[in-house]
Amino acid sequence: MNRVLRLSHTTIILIVFILACSTEPHAVQLKCTRVTDGDTITVVTDGQKVTIRLVGIDAPEKSRKKHEPGQPFSQNSTKYLAGLVLNNHVDIVSYGTDRYGRTLGVVYVDGKNVNLEMVRAGLAEVYRGRPAKGFDNEPYQKAEDEARRASVGMWSLGDKYVSPREWRRMNR
């Protein structure tokens, strides 16, 4: 069973090292200080910042160019995630790091799985790439199927919907 670690003055470098080297998911609690987009946040402890990529989901992409809207529902997704986590203490269950050095994690606020909530709200889809080691995406797939059937969020676009993965490919 996962244990939640309450952090006081431990260094974030030690935490990231332990989480990245572990083969089992671990949980830590940190304060969310920034929401980059619908699937990426920044947490801080002892003045150190760590980027967390919400594992198992892929949210609509923001534009890389200033003053452009990006993919439909990207702003909605970012705002929704911010409403759930920004300036709150979050528990993070880590699944290692991605190729950019970001911690892959399931984020919880008051016991609520934020990653899964993003999919339920139709503001993220299940990540289409290789799943993180030890990560079970079955509940996420069920939530996506339900959101699609209900035409919630980005699924309301119907045939005009483009996966974030495809949108990134088309906008390189």
Select which of 6, 24, 34, 102 is catalytic.
Answer: 102
Pairing state between β 26-37 and 4-6: parallel
Quick check: 150 and 158 in contact, CB under 8 A? no
Q: Which of 140, 169, 155 is nearest to 72 (CA)?
A: 155
53 is catalytic: yes
The catalytic position among 6, 34, 53, 128 is 53
Provide φ and ψ at 81, rounded to 5°.
Answer: -60, -40
Mind giving me the DSSP string for 41-93? EEEEETTEEEEEEETTEEPPPPPSSTT---STTHHHHHHHHHHHHTTSEEEEE
Active site residue 61: yes
Alpha carbon 130 to its chain centroid, in Å, reads 15
Whole-number Å distance between alpha carbons of 60 and 73: 6
144, 126 Cβ separation under 8 angstroms:
yes
Among candidate residues 61, 117, 125, 144, the one labeled active-site is 61
Q: Establish how many alpha carbons lie within 13 A of residue 22's alpha carbon, considering only the half-sphere containing its beta carbon.
A: 19
172 is catalytic: no
Catalytic annotation, residues:
53, 61, 102
